[in-house]
Structure 1
C-alpha cells in the first residue's frame, strides 16, 4: 500500500461515478510525507446533485421492508470483514495508525458497529403501544453525514448504519485529509447491493462542499463528527431551516485514580487510554487525576510505561504509536507542550522534539506533563496528540470537582478496587460515557456515545444512534366507530 498512488476524481451520485469539476486534493502518508492519493475538491453544484439523488431515492428506500434494509447493512459488514487486511493497510497509509492496531480498532470496530446496529434494529420500537393509541417511528428523511480523519471508517459506520436501517438516504462527505477509506467503503456498499441514491459520496472542503450540503432545506438531519468550531458552524448554518443536528465534537476527558487503585494495572492502562491512535481520539482520557500522596509513585510508573512505548513506522509490527496526521497537527501539539512549561508544568517524559531516528514523518514523542494547574491551557484545551496531563486530588470529592472542571464532557474514567465506590464517583461525573477500571467504548457498542457541553449534541451507537434518524408520531384513537 505504501508504494501505491490511489487516485479518485469522481463522486458517487445516484449509483454512478460522476467525474468532478473540482481540482484534486492531495492525500499524504504522514509517515513518509509523500503524496499517496488524491480526491476531488467538489463543487456546490455537485453537492446539490448528490442531494437530488438522495431525495429521489428516499421514498422507495423508506418503503423498503426493514428486514431488507438490515440485510444490506449486514452484507456491507461482511464485505468489510472480507477485506480487513486491505482496509487496515489503507488506514495505516493515510492516517498513520500502526497496521496491527488498525486491523481491530479502525476496521474491526466499524464492522461490529454495523452488525450491532442491525441487531438492535430488529428489536427497536418502531411501533409502541400507548393507552390511547401508539407511537410510530418513521425515517427522518435525507441525512448529511460529515466525518473526520482520525477514525474514518468507524465514524462513517456509526452514522450510515443507523441512518440506513431507519430508512434514511445519505450524502456522505468525508474529511479531505483522509478520504480514501470512504471510497473503499462506498465501493463495498455498491457491491453489497445498496440501491442507487441511497448512499452517495461527495468529497471536498468544508466551506464549499460541507456548507452547501448543510444549508440545503431538503436535509432532515446533519450528523457531524469534528471540532467544536466545525460543530458551531454547522449548527449556525442549519438553524434557519430548523434542521436537526447531531454533533460529536471534542473532549478533554478525565481519568480518575482513587486512592485504593491497583497502580500496577491502572497506570499502564491509563497511558494506553491517553495515547490510543497517537492521542488523536476525541474520547482519549488525557487528564490523569491522581491522589496527591501517590503522585511520586504514579510519576515513576508513568515514566516506565511511556518508556516502553515504541513510536515508528505504521507497517512495523513493533510500533505502538505512528505519526500524527499532518505537519499542521504536529505543530499544534508541539505548541501545547511548549506552552505548558510557561504555565508552570513539569515535563515528565517526552517533549516537543522529534523522536530519535525519525527525521521524516509527522512523529511526536509520547509526552507526560505533571504539576499541571487546573486553570492552565493544558488542563482545559483539547490537544489531539500524545500528551497526558497529570493533576492531583485530595479525595473523591476533589477528584470529581477537578474532573468536571472542563467545558467538555465526552468521556471519563474511574479506577478503584471497590466497584461500588467507582460507580458512585462515575455517577457524579458530567460525561456522556464513563469507563470503570479500563472498560472500552468498543466493549459496549449498544451503549450511547456522545457528550455534555462543548462535546456536542445527541448520541451515536446503540438504540440512541437510531433515535437520531427517526421522527416520532403519536397516533391517538383508532377504535371502531359505532
Structure 2
C-alpha cells in the first residue's frame, strides 16, 4: 500500500512542501524493506508551523466549550470510520501484529478521545472558591508535541485531544520511524473541520525539529513522550523560556506476586503484559517480584508460558508477537540480553539471536532471566523488549523495598488475595499507576509516573489540566 503526503507537512490547514528537506526511508520492520519515503524538516519549517498556530490561537483560544466539543465529536466520528487504516499503518510501520493493531493500538484512538470528551463536559472551567474568589481555567497557548514510535496513535491522541479540549493550538513532531499514523491523523483532523492552524504537523529529527520546537519563544508548552535522555533535552531547551514541560518517559515497572495470589493467573498475566507489543511499552511490568515460598513454582510457570508465546508475521491475524520496531532497537535489546548473561543471571528461555524461521525482520526471542538481583543492569535499565527478570522477595516490606529501588516510577502491578494488603502496598509504591490482579487502569485515568518516569499526567481530567492555566479573580 502506498501513502500520500509523506513528502509534505500539514501547516495552516494545508499540505505544503518543506522549505528544504532531507529524504528518509521508512522501513517495515518485518521485511526490512522501504515502504515510504519521508521528508525531514528543519527549524524553518517549525517557524512556519508555530506562526500558523500562534495566529490560529487568537480565535481557537476564545472558542466555547460547546464549540470545541462539537469539533472533537466530529474527529471521533471520522477516526472511527478510518480505524482499520490506522491499524494497517501501525502494523506496517512498527510491526504490531494486525490483530493487536486493531484491538489495542488503533482502538485507543477512540477510547482516549471519548474519555477526553467526557472530561471536558464535566470540567469546571470557572468556579467560585470557598473564599469567594473565582477560579478560571483557560488554554495555555501554543503547544509543541513530540511523540514516540512504540504506541504512535496512543501518544498522539493523549496530547492532541486535551489540547483541542483546552483551546490550545499545536505543532506535532511524531517519531520519524512511525510517521504514517501521524499523517493519517492529520487527515482525520482536516476532514473533521479542525480550523486551519490549530493543528500542524512537521516531520524531523529530534536534535533538529524537536529542539527547534522546544527552543521556540512562541511555544508556551512542550509535551514529550520518549526516553529519559530526550526528556532532559526538551527540558534544557525549554528552560530559558520558563515554559511548561510535560514528560512521559520510561519505566522499569515491578510486578509484585504474593503467595496468596492465584499464581498461575498472576504469572500468565504478568508475562502477557510484557510480551504484548513485543515488550515495547514503557509501563511493561518487566521486573517480576515473587514471594520466596512460591518462587520456584512461579519460575516453572513463567518458563512454560513464555515458551508458548508465538512469534509471527504482523500481517497475520492472531495473538503472536511481531518484530521490534527497528534494526537499531533490535541491536540494543540483543546487547541487553547478552549483558544479563554476562552479569551471571540464569537464562531460562530465549536468549540472543532471532527465532528460528525469522531470519529476515527484527524479530527477537521471548526471554526470561532468573537468579537476578535488583542491582544488575538488566533489573535497573529499560530493555524495551520481550524480556522478563524474576526476583524473589521474603515478605511485604522486602517486596516494597525492591519495587521502589529504581530510578523510575511509572507503573506497577500487585497480585494478592488480600484486599487490605493490596491497598496497603499500593499506598507505598512509588509509581503513578497500580494495576491489581490482572485489571488495568481504564482510559480517562491519569497516565504518568514518579521520579525519572516523568512530570505530569496524561488522560482524563488531569491530562486536560496539563494544557490549562489557572486565573484567580477577586470577588466583586
TM range (shorter): over 0.9
CA offsets, 1:63-122, max 9 Å, x none?
Answer: 112111112112112211112222111111001011101112111112110111011101
CA offsets, 1:187-246, max 9 Å, x none?
Answer: 010000000000000001111111111101111110000000000000000000001000
Partner of 2:300: 300
Q: Distance in 2 between matches of 1:110 and 1:318?
A: 21
Q: Distance in 2 between matches of 1:366 and 1:178?
A: 24
Q: Distance in 1 between matches of 2:93 and 2:311?
A: 17
Partner of 1:328: 328
Q: Distance in 2 between matches of 1:139 and 1:472?
A: 9
Q: Distance in 2 between matches of 1:445 and 1:354?
A: 35
Q: Distance in 1 between matches of 2:81 and 2:3?
A: 22
Q: Distance in 2 between matches of 1:367 and 1:316?
A: 23
1:344 CA displacement = 1.4
Contact 1:267-1:298 at 8 Å conserved across structures: yes
Q: Distance in 1 between matches of 2:99 and 2:77?
A: 20
Select which of 430, 439, 448 maps to 1:450: 448
Contact 1:169-1:197 at 8 Å conserved across structures: yes
Partner of 2:84: 85
Q: How does 1:103-252 map to 2 (within 5 A)?
A: 103-130=102-129, 131-252=131-252
Q: Distance in 2 between matches of 1:254 and 1:408?
A: 10
1:283 CA displacement = 0.5
1:319 CA displacement = 4.7
Q: Distance in 1 between matches of 2:451 and 2:411?
A: 12
1:7 CA displacement = 5.9
Return 395-404 or 75-84, whichever deviates more.
75-84
Contact 2:3-2:180 at 8 Å conserved across structures: no
Q: Distance in 2 between matches of 1:194 and 1:334?
A: 44
Contact 2:413-2:436 at 8 Å conserved across structures: yes
Partner of 2:14: 16
CA offsets, 1:239-278, max 9 Å, x none?
Answer: 0000100000000000000110111211110011111200
Partner of 1:66: 65
Q: Distance in 1 between matches of 2:3 and 2:182?
A: 16
1:40 CA displacement = 1.2
Contact 1:374-1:391 at 8 Å conserved across structures: yes
Contact 2:100-2:319 at 8 Å conserved across structures: no
Return 314-323 or 354-363, whichever deviates more.
314-323
Q: Distance in 1 between matches of 2:177 and 2:318?
A: 26
1:132 CA displacement = 2.4
Q: Distance in 2 between matches of 1:419 and 1:50?
A: 51
The CA RMSD measured in Å over matched residues stands at 1.0
Q: How does 1:24-63 map to 2 (within 5 A)?
A: 24-63=23-62
Secondary structure in structure 2 of the residue aligned to 1:378: helix
Secondary structure in structure 2 of the residue aligned to 1:328: helix
Partner of 1:353: 353
Partner of 1:439: 439
Runs of 4+ with >6 A deviation: none
Secondary structure in structure 2 of the residue aligned to 1:331: helix
Partner of 2:416: 416
Contact 1:80-1:107 at 8 Å conserved across structures: no
Secondary structure in structure 1 of the residue aligned to 2:434: strand
Q: Distance in 2 between matches of 1:437 and 1:78?
A: 34
1:54 CA displacement = 0.1
1:469 CA displacement = 0.4
Contact 1:98-1:316 at 8 Å conserved across structures: yes
Contact 1:273-1:285 at 8 Å conserved across structures: yes
Partner of 2:258: 258
Contact 1:6-1:38 at 8 Å conserved across structures: no
- Residue ranges of structure 2 left out of the alignment (5+ in a row): none
Partner of 1:269: 269
In the superposition, the TM-score normalised over structure 1's length comes to: 0.97
2:473 paired with 1:475? yes
CA offsets, 1:278-330, max 9 Å, x none?
Answer: 00010111000001121211111111111111101011123520000011101
In the superposition, the TM-score normalised over structure 2's length comes to: 0.98
Return 282-291 or 421-430, whichever deviates more.
421-430
Give the 3 Å change call, closer, same or farther, for CA 217–5 of structure 1 in structure 2. Answer: closer
Q: Distance in 1 between matches of 2:51 and 2:280?
A: 35
- Residue ranges of structure 1 left out of the alignment (5+ in a row): none
Q: Distance in 2 between matches of 1:84 and 1:44?
A: 32
Contact 1:414-1:422 at 8 Å conserved across structures: yes
Secondary structure in structure 1 of the residue aligned to 2:107: helix
Kindly tell me the number of residue pairs found equivalent between the two proteins.
474
1:160 CA displacement = 0.6
Q: Distance in 2 between matches of 1:224 and 1:341?
A: 34
1:38 CA displacement = 2.1
